[in-house]
């Protein structure tokens, strides 16, 4: 009994260690957009040039993240989490001290590579150490990303307002500290990782086969879901200003409500899935999404719009960690690659559709942009019921 309790303690400890690493890594991603106005003021960058830094970081990350996951499945090196976290921090830190646009682009690429290096290894660790409670473990890891993205803009703004444009160097502090903490625990992490793979090789354990069909369905579902997620975070403030005739402050408050509700749902969704089943959580959330999106798009009542935003955040984020674990379970021999695709490729490509939704909003109105997002949530519902049962 004592051994079981000790093991449970270790599982919790390393799940939260992965979460803290996720916070520090996504702190850089959340901080980069907030740095852009300061770079524009300091170096006279154009809006297109500033946006190009974000695009460069996201593009390289989405391309190499599945590759890093693939390599991580063959060369098990958990210390790459610390290396990726450090690279992400160094990249964004150098933004403020780079003397030319070319160097800023190089810094953005370093940051993107670091982000891509961390996520497959971090989510693989969360998968391994969570034991039978994989939904809970992945939800703990995933909420780190929510926190990092939420705190990143505040951290960047405060550092630059205090120290000037070179205040971006403040991003080195959290990643260096967390990298040291992670490396200090690396021997135990290596032991847990090796034990996991050794147990899978035991004679009594039948080797599981990879189910590429099931994984493809989950990946396409994640792709359409990411379009909805990026669309909501991009257009919530604009919808409040352009359709509901409210101020920028009110629009940003509702974006914060959406983010907070999403973080709570991420934590709760994994725990619920461990109790009632992963497919049930995914199907419930995906069934609720299209009608909630439609209600939000057609609704002009302030109170109802705020409530619908909260509900959309709950169903979008409530299934997030559950979808990730389901995809990983379909590729039990390639967890790193599965993580790289689900965390990197599908989400990044989904984000690249935001300009298309913006074009619709410019030419046909924000209501029609939201109705387009509603239509794109219907494939999410269909694919949720197409996910096969894991054998």
Residue 378 has pLDDT above 90, yes or no: yes
> Which one of 13-27, 100-114, 357-371 scores highest in mean pLDDT?
100-114
Residue 125: alpha-carbon gap to chain centroid: 16
Q: Please check whether the two domains, 2-200 and 212-384, share a CATH topology.
A: yes
Nearest to 251 by CA among 233, 265, 228: 233
Task: Give the pLDDT confidence score for residue 203 in this predicted structure.
Answer: 58
| CATH classification for the domain delimited by 212-384, as one of 3.30.1200.10, 3.20.20.150, 1.10.3720.10, 1.20.1250.20 | 1.20.1250.20
pTM above 0.85, yes or no: no
* Range in 120-124, 128-132, 271-275 the model is least confident about: 128-132
Left (φ > 0), alpha (ψ -120 to 50) or beta: where does 153 sit? alpha
pLDDT exceeds 90 at position 389 = no
Give, in order, the Cα–Cα distances in Å from 226 to each of 30, 75, 189, 213, 222: 16, 30, 31, 20, 6
The residue ranking higher by pLDDT, 257 or 12, is 257
pLDDT exceeding 90 applies to what percent of the chain?
Answer: 29
The average confidence (pLDDT) of the chain is: 84
Superfamily of domain 2-200: MFS general substrate transporter like domains (1.20.1250.20)
The domain limits of the chain are 2-200, 212-384
Q: What is the mean pLDDT of residues 92-102?
A: 92
For helices 186-200 and 172-184, give the axis angle rounded to 10 degrees.
60
pLDDT digits (tens, 9 = 90+) for 24-55: 998 998 888 888 888 888 888 887 788 788 77
């Amino acid at each position: 009994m004592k051994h079981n309790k000790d093991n449970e303690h270790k599982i919790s400890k390393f799940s939260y260690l992965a979460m803290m690493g996720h916070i520090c890594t996504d702190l850089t991603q959340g901080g980069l957009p907030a740095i852009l106005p300061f770079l524009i003021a300091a170096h006279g960058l154009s809006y297109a040039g500033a946006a190009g830094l974000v695009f460069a970081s996201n593009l390289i990350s989405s391309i190499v993240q599945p590759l890093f996951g693939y390599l991580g499945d063959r060369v098990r090196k958990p210390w790459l989490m610390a290396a990726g976290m450090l690279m992400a921090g160094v990249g964004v830190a150098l933004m403020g001290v780079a003397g030319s646009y070319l160097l800023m682009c190089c810094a953005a690429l370093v940051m993107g590579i670091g982000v891509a290096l961390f996520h497959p290894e971090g989510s693989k660790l969360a998968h391994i150490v969570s034991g039978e409670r994989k939904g809970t473990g992945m939800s703990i890891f995933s909420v780190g990303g929510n926190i990092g993205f939420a705190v990143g803009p505040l951290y960047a703004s405060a550092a630059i307002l205090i120290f000037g444009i070179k205040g971006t160097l403040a991003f080195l502090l959290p990643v260096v500290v967390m990298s040291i903490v992670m490396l200090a625990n690396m021997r135990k992490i290596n032991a847990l990782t090796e034990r996991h793979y050794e147990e899978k090789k035991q004679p009594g354990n039948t080797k599981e086969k990879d189910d590429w069909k099931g994984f493809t369905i989950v990946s396409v579902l994640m792709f359409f879901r990411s379009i909805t997620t990026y669309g909501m975070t991009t257009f919530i403030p604009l919808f409040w200003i352009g359709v509901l005739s409210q101020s920028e402050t009110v629009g940003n408050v509702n974006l914060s409500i959406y983010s907070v509700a999403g973080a709570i749902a991420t934590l709760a969704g994994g725990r619920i899935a461990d109790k009632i089943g992963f497919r049930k959580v995914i199907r419930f959330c995906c069934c609720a999404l299209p009608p909630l999106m439609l209600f939000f798009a057609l609704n002009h009542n302030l109170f109802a719009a705020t409530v619908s935003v909260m509900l959309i955040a709950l169903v979008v984020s409530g299934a997030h960690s559950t979808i990730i674990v389901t995809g990983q379970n379909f590729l039990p021999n390639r967890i790193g690659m599965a993580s790289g695709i689900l965390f990197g490729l599908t989400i990044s490509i989904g984000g690249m559709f935001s300009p298309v939704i913006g074009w619709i909003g410019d030419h046909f109105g924000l209501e029609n942009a939201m109705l387009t997002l509603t239509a794109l949530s219907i494939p999410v519902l269909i694919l949720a019921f197409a996910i096969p049962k894991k054998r």
